[in-house]
């Protein structure tokens, strides 16, 4: 029996932004380290891994948690988050199409060929700015970012909202993530999920690849996505 077309098994693919489409993790790290040191704290690269996928405010709370310190007052936290964002947004000006991660453009072309809808689903409030810098602002059917949601990952809101906009069934939606909190959010949404990065860190995903260059969409969909439910 011939395999069914991909579009009968997969309604949509939701892309996280940082670490999946473009890597701005180093810019986030430098910005957070700048703010931390200005406030008498430190932030190592290892500690920065704990901030992946978190909102600005949750990232600040994590930094204080890592130091075992009580949180400052709300106005101080807001000022720190604002300064971090100003530093980060200024650094984003260095981004261009050359910073698109390997495999992204080929995968988008494959999805267009199979008439599968796409979205960026990110907690970042700078998602549209980043996409504009790298020339992908019109490459997706919709963008759900930090301005569109109330709860950050691991809450599934960002993915459920993206699927709703695309009229996609969660059980026939694929999420591509590089952070554990994002994978947990995709699981909570009832979606199949691909991790991009280390299997040691992201092994709870359905599958993990080091790069989207190593991702075979047809094989993944046939193996995992049909098992999430029947039409």
Annotated catalytic sites, by residue? 16, 18
| DSSP β-ladder status, 207-209 and 192-196 | parallel
Which residue spans within 77-224 are E strands per DSSP? 117-121, 142-144, 173-177, 192-196, 207-209
CB burial of 20-41 (b: ≥16 within 10 Å; e: otherwise) equals bbbbbbebbbebbbebbeeeeb
Say how far apart CA 66 and CA 73 lie, in whole Å: 18
Name beta bridge partners: 142.
119
CA angle 92, 93, 97 (to 5 degrees): 85
DSSP state of 4: P
Nearest to 104 by CA among 178, 30, 8, 51: 178
Residue that the structure tokens 């948690």 belong to: 65
Six token digits for residue 34: 């700048």
Helix (H) or strand (E) holding 199: helix 199-202
User: How many residues are listed for the chain in this entry?
Assistant: 231
């Amino acid at each position: 029996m011939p395999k069914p077309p991909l579009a009968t098994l997969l309604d949509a693919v939701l892309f996280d932004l940082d670490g999946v489409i473009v890597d701005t993790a180093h810019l986030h790290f430098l910005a957070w380290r700048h703010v931390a040191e200005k406030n008498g704290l430190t932030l190592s690269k290892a500690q920065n891994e704990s901030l992946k996928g978190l909102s600005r405010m949750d990232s600040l709370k994590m930094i204080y948690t890592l130091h075992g310190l009580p949180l400052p007052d709300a106005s101080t936290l807001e000022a720190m988050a604002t300064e971090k964002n100003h530093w980060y947004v200024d650094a984003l000006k260095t981004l261009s199409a050359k910073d698109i991660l390997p495999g992204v453009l080929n995968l988008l072309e494959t999805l267009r060929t199979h008439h599968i809808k796409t979205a960026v689903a990110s907690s970042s409030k700078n998602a549209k700015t980043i996409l504009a810098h790298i020339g992908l602002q019109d490459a997706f059917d919709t963008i759900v970012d930090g301005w569109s949601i109330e709860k950050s990952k691991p809450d599934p809101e960002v993915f459920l909202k993206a699927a709703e906009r695309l009229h996609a069934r969660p059980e026939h939606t694929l999420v591509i993530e590089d952070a554990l909190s994002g994978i947990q959010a995709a699981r909570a949404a009832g979606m199949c999920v691909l991790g991009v990065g280390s299997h040691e860190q992201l092994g709870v995903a359905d599958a993990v690849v080091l790069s989207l260059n190593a991702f075979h969409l047809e094989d993944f969909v046939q193996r995992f996505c049909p098992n999430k439910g029947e039409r």
